[in-house]
Structure 1
């Protein structure tokens, strides 16, 4: 299953946005309002939980300087990734979109598609407000 957020314009250079996203503690600023837990576990790993959902651990897996940051599920039963693609628009303005990719059976995909879409859209909107 692949879910892609709309592209968001961010008032930061691609380098600033890249540096913001590679510092995992900054993801707390992007989380939805219904977050019930956020904890940095290591320099490249954090845990979060949304109300009524299980805890999820994400680990920084790939960094392509100034244009891509990829996080992956760490220790979960279902493999998935969350990737931010960053494009420079101007010296202090960039554009980013988020892509969620996961392997789910058809029943699970139906159940999680709505909440995951809402989640990545919220991350994207909050990125635009930085």
Structure 2
């Protein structure tokens, strides 16, 4: 399953956006209001939970400065990645898009498609005000 957030424009350079997204504690600022738990486990890993959902641990998997950050599931029953694509528009203006990619059976995909789409849309829409 591949889901893409809307592309958002950020009035910062790709380097500034990359540095912000590279620091896992900054993801707390991007989370939706229905977050019930957020905890930084180490410099590369954080745990979060949304109300009514299981806890998820995300870990930095790959960094390609200043254009791409890949976070992936760290343990748990489901394997997926969340990739941030950062594109320079001008010297102090960037575009950011988040892409969720995971392997799920058809039933699971049907159940989680809506909530995950809304989740990555919220993360992306909170980036411009947070960086």
In 2: Cα distance, 1:67 partner to 1:54 partner: 30
Shift of 1:77: 1.1
In 2: Cα distance, 1:104 partner to 1:128 partner: 31
Structure 2: stretches of 5+ with no match in the other structure: none
Task: Indicate the residue corresponding to 1:38 in structure 2.
Answer: 38
Shift of 1:128: 2.5
In 1: Cα distance, 2:128 partner to 2:111 partner: 28
RMSD of the TM alignment (CA)?
Answer: 0.6
Task: Indicate the residue corresponding to 1:87 in structure 2.
Answer: 87
* TM-score of the superposed pair, with normalisation by structure 1: 0.98
- Kindly report which structure 2 residues correspond to 1:1-130, keeping only aligned pairs within 5 A, or say none: 1-130=1-130
Superposition misfits of 4+ residues, deviation over 2 angstroms: none
Shift of 1:12: 1.1
The number of aligned residues is 130
In 1: Cα distance, 2:54 partner to 2:41 partner: 17
* TM-score of the superposed pair, with normalisation by structure 2: 0.97
